[in-house]
Structure 1
Amino acid sequence: MNVMKFILGLIFANIVLLSFPDLSEAATPDPAGLSGTVVAEIDGEKIQLPLLEADYDIDIEGDAAHVALTQSFLNPTSQPLHGTYLFPLNQKAAVHAMRMEFDGTTIVAQIQLKEKAEATFRKAKAEGKAASLLTQHRPNMFTQKVAHLMPGRPVKITIEYVQTVPKIDGAYELVVPIVVGPRYEKAAVHAPTSSAATKHPAPGDEFAPEANNPVHASVADGWKIDKLPAYPEVIGQDAPAGIDAHRVGLNLSLNAPVPISRLWSDTHDLAISGNDASKSARFKAGRAIDNRDLVLRYELSAEHHISAGLSSHFAAGRGGYYSLLIEPPSLPADEMIARRELVFVLDTSGSMSGKPVETTKTFMRTALKELRPDDYFRILRFSNNTSQFAGDAVLATEANKRAALDYVSGLSAKGGTEINRAINAAFDTIQPANTTRIVVFLTDGYIGDERDVIATISRRIGHARIYAFGIGNSVNRFLLDAMAREGRGYARYVEIGESTHEAAESFAANLETPLLTDISIDWANLAVKDQTPSAIPDLFEGRAVRVLGRYSKGGKHKIYINGLINGRKAQLPLAVDLKSEGKEAGQVANPLPLNWAREMIFDKNRQYTIGGSKDDRIKQEITQLALTYSLQSRFTSFVAVSENIVNSEPASVKAASVPLPQVSGVSRNAYPSLNLSGSSAPEPEGILGVMLILLAVAARFRRRLHRAMRNLISRPKLAASQRRNTGKLDTSLPRSLTRDGWWLED
């Protein structure tokens, strides 16, 4: 075993230290003079990796955001490279445009079927043309491939997307994912069909034809699961010494029809200016390193007066689109008290070691303290296996809570992330009578087989609720949001930082039950269709739910929002005015159609996921939506190709990935150095894990690289541009009017 560790360490610790001159004086840098450049060994040859800068231009109007992400790539070598960049986007981002700038020319990318886009890209690469290909691997995980990245000739790629900004805990929260965290996958997901299948592809094979690099890999029960991309080289926790500490820029503007009472971020220090009608923000230090996600929050002073509101947009040739925002009734908390069984499921895998597992313990200390005397509880921990505090649920007596605290205090983090086993274990015991089962997950979500998890929850949820708490600075929000949505609960996130313990304590003290359940809408004969989400989730205090859809005829109407409050029928009448005329279909001035189409795709992806890819009709519907609205999806991709040949010798070009920094707050134990999409090993630990991490190099690199990028890249200023309740409330029953407009049965 020691020999194996030594060999693996020698194979994967391929970093060299070179010197780095100022690149501003030469278009083609001298590789012998580079310092701090990260180098990987590819086919026995040391290759310097491509450099990157990313700039986020964000425009927020009320609760609608438009984001333009510009990725600037530079080849610091004297030889052409094919580059690959693994990066995240918000899982609800409606990516509707991409363009590539190269040698003063702007090329607008085309949306194509995924297979056709890959073929277009391969052909351009073989012909020596500059090209870029955007591929979605998960709703929040993408790769950008750049063919023929020529020495000293930067390539800029701009991706544009829109999204609605959700309301969470009383404030609007925009999450801008910046770095992809590691992912754990078990061997069974990628069962090889031959000995050749176990071989990890060389970096150059990333551009191989589809037949040699399938998008899917078989699962034992016949399902198909999207293959994860290879994880790139990772620099150590002190990433600024090896990666430019100024890789990320921010230019944000916020405007609202009502006064903006507050704008802030708990993840980054911001320089904020403006007034209560309009604010702007940048990183206080000017630029930042891409080792944690950016979370922006803001409050609008008039929002607490709104119970529901509808906005609409009419596009000639396509019809009308609506967006209905619903907030829960304002009711005294004691009206919602019910007996509960709380099942705490704690991630103790290797990626949770250090601050994340300590945050989990902080959460649990408060959660146990806040349990009511008539509550029941269980505690499970999982990594490669699952174990628990007690076999069955126990009452929240003081003695049981003290014993549980001792159990939690003794937990440590190591091993893999077998979350699906933990989900099954959470539902395997008999629920105490007359209780609401609430399953509370605490995890970073660093897994690759999201499909199994979502399908298991869908199959086993019954009448329970799932609350998902993400702990870390680059959590797999797609997975946790999907868990909460499938479990009719909610997701919350605790970033690792100065306020970590306070946030964990606050969340743990407020494990509330939903205020409004079984929500439905009586449209009063109004012709609406294509509602998303098809099943409206429950409403919790401090949150709102958004329903999007289409209509064929505008005008003024009265609709009724119905639901249950602790088993009692509740109703909110709402007067709406749907627009009946607008711009031509080709003029996308309003983001509502794009957001509706993206939500429809998101909903259909859920059906496709749970169905095990067996329904080709759903795939066709997703594809048609994506092509009609020019949206990136799992079945469509943006591709851009230059007209001119930029490399007369395309056959000899090496492929290399843009290196990523280690996610802030995440242990080195979380990073396997093998190709993650084919690795069956659990998250490495101890000495082996350290040996497999590529190390940081040369501190002076960041300043000189930053200066070189400034001189070589001219960045344009982007425009900051249980029971389904239907029908009306029975007016023959006693009812009362709440202060925010809801009618409630007495």
Structure 2
Amino acid sequence: MPKPSPFPSPASPLEPGYGAASALSPLFLAVLALLLTLVSARAMPAPGSGALVLRSEAAVPVEAPRLATDFAVTVSGPTLRTIVTQAFRNTTDRWVEGTYVYPLPEDAAVDAMTMIVGERVIVAGIKERAAARRVYEAARAEGKTAALTEQERPNVFTNAVANIGPGETVVVRIEIQQAVSVSAGIRTLRLPLVVAPRYNPAPPAATLISETGESADPVPDRDRIEPPVLDPARHAPINPVAITVRLDAGFPVGALRSATHPIRVEETGPTARRVTLGEGVVPADRDFELTWEPAPGAEPSLGLFREEIGGETYVLATLNPPTAAAGTRPPRDVTFVIDNSGSMAGDSMRQAKAGLLAGLARLHPEDRVNVIRFDNTWDALFPEPVPASPETLRRAERFVGALEARGGTEMLAPLTAALNDPTPEDRNRLRQIVFLTDGAVGNEAQLFEAIQRGLGRSRLFMVGIGAAPNGHLMRHAAEIGRGSFTAIHTVDQVAERTRALYAKLEEPAATGLRASFTEEGAEVTPDPLPDLYRGEPLTLAARLAKGTGGLTVSGTVDGRPWSRTLSLSEAAPGTGISKVWARARIGEAETGRITGRLTAEAADAAILKLALAHGLTTRLTSLVAVDATPRRAAGTPLAATDLPLNLPAGWDFEKVFGERPSGVSPIRERHAGLTPAVAPAPAREIRLPQTGIGFLPRLWLGLGLALAGLAVGLLSRRARAAR
């Protein structure tokens, strides 16, 4: 169970569009006020340039709201539940609306949102997106405090909070459900913490409307995914984050590590651990990753779980197909595609080069190889794959070694070139594409369409590079490309993760996989099942009316039939499986729309039905919470600002946005209306009730100091009375 939050859970659900508010005790308000004033010994330094000042919609400069975020994650066997608490602190004497663009895991089911304003707790309701926006805008105009959570991408969301009073803090709590990712026996939790700046290809110069009447802009919502980004040379990191993970793996835990952040680990049981950040709070400038694996001999051969909801049964199954027999390695055609755009400068470029060179080193003479590089232009080393002779490999190594990060990220043309198959009839060779990039682009849908059109017999393997890779692009491209996604966050991970990736590529996949239930009418996801490689377990979810009988998974491994049958009576109780199933089905509908398997109308209807039934935020639905009491007086101005983000760690600001103009703010800051404060001043910070920084000791310390101050005040009063 997660650590008890100081924010109480409301007892009643929200009426459509509005919230049932419940009063909070004065003790809670006192504790909240105390928590917001506690300052960590490891607090991040204040910006030397002073407070962050944003121009409002009325062109009047206003200081940006402060933001602090707390992640409380509970892992229960195959699923995990995360509570994301965001505190928006208005440090000005004006009424403010703050908008914050933030990431969440691309496979997360966002199903709950709560807003806390003073003594009131308001539970959000799920509505169609346009209707939720109308409710929010009406509340904003009426002076009511309101919060709106919208999905821009499956891994990019926007929180808008209207009518934050002078000196006030509004707390927004979001809850998400996921399945635990498993590969080669290693379980992974990844929490994206920053939305990386994205390269958005320009719309066609001549034709802005397609033949269907729709916008031809490859990124029609570009204005919603371009938040202001701070230049780290001018501003210290902002948006502090704390993380606590309560892990109950369901088996004895062996290695537990994070390659992205220092962590503290507390053993709370033979199968349980409590993990917090070693530095207490950290800036939101890189993804957090935590991995764990079973102790030796404790690897479960099968994970089968079930959940009963609304008279229906939801099943989550994970199993490992057998590996291919030794000595069956077929010849391969491997095309490596490497991103050398400006966002890859620094550590990312070194990681990508090292990953590609590791792949070249594993090729055999019977294999064929090509290398394509791209920024806003692209080049191929050879017109088509050529035999991987020693001379060929030396040329490829020199080609890769000479690459420098620069320019934009025009991904469509090199992707199309890599997919082009000069010998589509050759079934004796595996055709594989290894694509190394941070994925910092906004035209994902355009790329998905290209993969669907040109895949043929190829398989696409995405390698996400850097501190904040675009997980939505990576995972979805690999899914459509019938390959896999590997994330490399640090140079230290290159050898281990590329070795595992290339070992998978060298063995035939388990192909033609099918899942069949004894009970008719089972709705299975993913559908169809993907090809699998060594160490890649099959994870599927299903909805059944009764949940009786068994599940059989069958396919072909190394040219031989293979099958495995499981009895649903063996399934252990699970939680959140219905949300995981619904989120996966929504993802399939989105894929069907992009690839043409479903019409836009049919896909939208399926998405909307699933989202409203399961209370999920999607492209078509949003969560909205409104305090029923107007608070901002009519005629009082409301300043609207976009909260700025950190540049992802390891990124080079000038490589991404160009050289810094002298005497003025950088282009991204100008684009957002960001101007430096008139005079340098220490930045005022807020602190959430951080589960990761020793909350209880600090609480007792704060209460002790408060009592000491009260005692001093009483003694002083008595002394004055005596005089």
- Normalising by the smaller structure, the TM-score range is 0.7 to 0.9
Counterpart of 2:470 in structure 1 is 476
One-letter amino acid matched to 2:121: T
The offset of 1:80, in angstroms, is 1.1
Counterpart of 2:451 in structure 1 is 457
Q: C-alpha root-mean-square deviation of aligned residues, in Å?
A: 3.2
CA-to-aligned-CA distance 1:452-472 (integer Å, 9 cap, x gap): 111111111112111100111
One-letter amino acid matched to 1:532: T
CA-to-aligned-CA distance 1:246-271 (integer Å, 9 cap, x gap): 71011211013321112211001001
Q: Please give the alpha-carbon distance, in whole angstroms, between the structure 2 residues aligned to 1:369 and 1:715.
A: 46
One-letter amino acid matched to 2:306: S
Q: Please give the alpha-carbon distance, in whole angstroms, between the structure 2 residues aligned to 1:225 and 1:530.
A: 33
The offset of 1:609, in angstroms, is 2.1
The offset of 1:704, in angstroms, is 6.0
Mapped pair 1:60 → 2:39: no
Q: Please give the alpha-carbon distance, in whole angstroms, between the structure 2 residues aligned to 1:230 and 1:365.
A: 34
Counterpart of 2:26 in structure 1 is none
Q: Please give the alpha-carbon distance, in whole angstroms, between the structure 1 residues aligned to 2:503 and 2:584.
A: 32
Is 560-569 or 144-153 further displaced after alignment?
A: 560-569
CA-to-aligned-CA distance 1:139-160 (integer Å, 9 cap, x gap): 0001100101112110000000
The offset of 1:329, in angstroms, is 0.9
Check conservation: 1:329, 1:515, Cα contact below 8 A. no
Counterpart of 2:514 in structure 1 is 520
Mapped pair 1:289 → 2:283: yes
Counterpart of 1:446 in structure 2 is 440
1:273-288 superposed matches below 5 A = 273-274=266-267, 275-288=269-282
Mapped pair 1:366 → 2:358: yes
Choose the corresponding residue for 1:176, options 182, 191, 204. Answer: 191
SS state at 1:705 partner = coil
Counterpart of 1:632 in structure 2 is 617
Mark the runs of 5 or more structure 1 residues left unpaired by the alignment: 1-22, 26-33, 195-215, 583-588, 673-683, 721-746
Counterpart of 2:216 in structure 1 is 219
CA-to-aligned-CA distance 1:547-602 (integer Å, 9 cap, x gap): 111112233x344321111222222233331789x9xxxxxx93111111111111
Choose the corresponding residue for 1:659, options 623, 644, 658. Answer: 644
Counterpart of 1:397 in structure 2 is 389
CA-to-aligned-CA distance 1:691-731 (integer Å, 9 cap, x gap): 42549989x9998634xx24xx66799xx9xxxxxxxxxxx
Check conservation: 2:83, 2:176, Cα contact below 8 A. yes
Flag the 1:644–1:714 CA change in 2: closer, same or farther, 3 A.
farther
Check conservation: 1:137, 1:227, Cα contact below 8 A. no
Check conservation: 2:201, 2:219, Cα contact below 8 A. no
Check conservation: 2:510, 2:531, Cα contact below 8 A. yes
Flag the 1:568–1:483 CA change in 2: closer, same or farther, 3 A.
same
Choose the corresponding residue for 1:150, options 137, 153, 165. Answer: 165
Q: Please give the alpha-carbon distance, in whole angstroms, between the structure 2 residues aligned to 1:303 and 1:85.
A: 46
Check conservation: 1:554, 1:579, Cα contact below 8 A. no
Counterpart of 2:43 in structure 1 is none
Is 166-175 or 129-138 further displaced after alignment?
A: 166-175
Counterpart of 2:304 in structure 1 is 310
SS state at 2:446 partner = helix
Is 613-622 or 498-507 further displaced after alignment?
A: 498-507
CA-to-aligned-CA distance 1:68-127 (integer Å, 9 cap, x gap): 000000111111111000000011111111000011210001110000000000000100
Check conservation: 1:386, 1:422, Cα contact below 8 A. yes
Check conservation: 1:235, 1:696, Cα contact below 8 A. no
Flag the 1:190–1:501 CA change in 2: closer, same or farther, 3 A.
farther
CA-to-aligned-CA distance 1:307-353 (integer Å, 9 cap, x gap): 44422222343x11111212121444x34401100011111111112
Is 474-483 or 358-367 further displaced after alignment?
A: 358-367
SS state at 2:684 partner = helix
Mapped pair 1:37 → 2:51: yes
The offset of 1:365, in angstroms, is 2.0
Counterpart of 2:121 in structure 1 is 106
One-letter amino acid matched to 1:641: V
SS state at 1:469 partner = strand
CA-to-aligned-CA distance 1:608-646 (integer Å, 9 cap, x gap): 222398421220111011011111111000001111112
CA-to-aligned-CA distance 1:207-253 (integer Å, 9 cap, x gap): xxxxxxxxx97117xx99555515222222358x5344x71011211
The offset of 1:305, in angstroms, is 4.9
The offset of 1:369, in angstroms, is 1.6
TM-score normalised by the chain length of structure 2: 0.82
Is 34-43 or 71-80 further displaced after alignment?
A: 34-43
Choose the corresponding residue for 2:374, options 382, 390, 401. Answer: 382
Counterpart of 1:741 in structure 2 is none
Check conservation: 2:127, 2:612, Cα contact below 8 A. yes
Counterpart of 1:705 in structure 2 is 684
Q: Please give the alpha-carbon distance, in whole angstroms, between the structure 2 residues aligned to 1:501 and 1:151.
A: 52
Check conservation: 2:163, 2:638, Cα contact below 8 A. yes
Counterpart of 1:692 in structure 2 is 667
Choose the corresponding residue for 2:242, options 243, 249, 270. Answer: 249
Counterpart of 2:701 in structure 1 is none
Choose the corresponding residue for 2:606, options 618, 621, 628. Answer: 621
One-letter amino acid matched to 1:530: E
Mapped pair 1:233 → 2:228: yes
The offset of 1:483, in angstroms, is 1.0
Identity of aligned residues (%): 29
One-letter amino acid matched to 1:546: T
Mapped pair 1:163 → 2:156: no
SS state at 1:526 partner = coil
Counterpart of 2:263 in structure 1 is 270
Mark the runs of 5 or more structure 2 residues left unpaired by the alignment: 1-35, 39-47, 696-723
CA-to-aligned-CA distance 1:347-379 (integer Å, 9 cap, x gap): 111111222122222122221121111000011
Choose the corresponding residue for 1:77, options 86, 89, 92. Answer: 92
Counterpart of 2:564 in structure 1 is 572
Counterpart of 1:18 in structure 2 is none
Q: Please give the alpha-carbon distance, in whole angstroms, between the structure 1 residues aligned to 2:323 and 2:689.
A: 52
SS state at 1:452 partner = helix
Q: Please give the alpha-carbon distance, in whole angstroms, between the structure 1 residues aligned to 2:435 and 2:389.
A: 22
Check conservation: 2:208, 2:216, Cα contact below 8 A. no
Counterpart of 1:135 in structure 2 is 150
Counterpart of 1:91 in structure 2 is 106
SS state at 2:604 partner = helix
SS state at 2:224 partner = coil
One-letter amino acid matched to 2:552: Y
SS state at 1:609 partner = helix
Choose the corresponding residue for 1:187, options 186, 195, 202. Answer: 202
